[in-house]
Amino acid sequence: MSDRISDNQAVRFEEVSKTFVTARGPVRALRGISGEVPAGAILTLVGPSGSGKSTLLSLVNLMVTPDEGRVFVFGREARAWDPPALRRTAALVFQRPPVIPGSVRDNLTLGARLQGRPLDHPEDFLEMVGLPRELLDQDARELSGGQLQRLGLARALVLEPRILLLDEVTSALDPSAVRGFETFLTDLCHSRGVTILWVTHDLDQARRVGDWTWLMAAGEIIEAQATEDFFMQPDNPLTLRFLAGGHIQPGETSEPFTTKGGSV
């Protein structure tokens, strides 16, 4: 396969596997994952706990490196990127964003300071994510879970990323705020062409925001479809079971199934 992939593929995974060595023994987090995410699309990643979703996100900005296979970001293999440049291009937003000791302003301006540039209007980024500018000088450790999730996103936006890697970023928001967040992010995707890989346990959210949806189980992608087809006519019987609230047991995932194709 060619090393050069066009700019209209934001991310491509080629036969990627990852095993973590733990005190309990090896944990196979990813097994031969292949797929691609078109630039400017929203991919929603769903699946049971421990199925490998966060690990897959972490491969994109080199927080984790694969044992086997290759990951491409805008056509260049991830490990060939300068890591800081890659992390500006593909910003990861955690469910519980880590904060540095200091104010909200300190946390917000950190990324720009590391790039050696000033951030003239940090309050604009707060307002973008629905936080009042009065919070700027508050101690970041005093924020609520929901405020922290908003700050995490604001901090990523300061980097002006072309890809956002979102890991359960609305779990601490109240339901009305969740919709506002979703609208903001889908607008960002449509108006600025930002590509989003969005891990969520909320299947309704995955359906509302996704262009493409992958279901992961036991480190494999067991269904990859345009989001509408994923929910309306999945190919894999395990997907139907998962959508109905059932469990997928280890060992069930490697059964062959056909896909309808598509860009993912």
Ligand X SMILES: Nc1ncnc2c1ncn2[C@@H]1O[C@H](COP(=O)(O)OP(=O)(O)OP(=O)(O)O)[C@@H](O)[C@H]1O
CB of 57 to ligand X, least distance (A): 8
For the sheet containing 42-46, what is the strand order?
90-93, 163-167, 195-199, 42-46, 212-217, 220-226
User: Contacting ligand X (CB under 6 A), which of 52, 111, 122, 210?
Assistant: 52
User: Contacting ligand X (CB under 6 A), which of 14, 16, 37, 51?
Assistant: 51
CA 152, distance to chain mean position in Å, is 13
Burial 189-211 (b: 16+ CB within 10 A, else e): beeeebbbbbbbebbebbbbbbb
User: Contacting ligand X (CB under 6 A), which of 2, 22, 176, 191?
Assistant: 22
Angle (nearest 5°) at CA 196 between 194 and 201: 155
Binding residues for ligand X, total number by CB under 6 A: 12
Give the CA count within 13 Å in the CB-facing half-sphere of 177.
15
User: Contacting ligand X (CB under 6 A), which of 31, 53, 87, 207?
Assistant: 53
CB of 182 to ligand X, least distance (A): 19
Stretch binding ligand X (CB under 6 A), from 33-41, 47-55, 157-165, 180-188? 47-55
Q: Is 29 in the site for ligand X (CB under 6 A)?
A: yes
* Closest C-alpha among 9, 30, 41, 32 to residue 225: 41
Q: Is 94 in the site for ligand X (CB under 6 A)?
A: no
Task: Write the binding mask 129 to 168 for ligand X: x where contact by CB under 6 A, - elsewhere.
Answer: ----------------------------------------
Count, residues in the chain: 264
CB of 128 to ligand X, least distance (A): 26
User: Contacting ligand X (CB under 6 A), which of 44, 46, 47, 81?
Assistant: 47
DSSP β-ladder status, 212-217 and 220-226: antiparallel
CB of 96 to ligand X, least distance (A): 11
CB of 48 to ligand X, least distance (A): 7
CB of 238 to ligand X, least distance (A): 15
Site residues (CB under 6 A) for ligand X? 20, 22, 27, 29, 47, 49-55
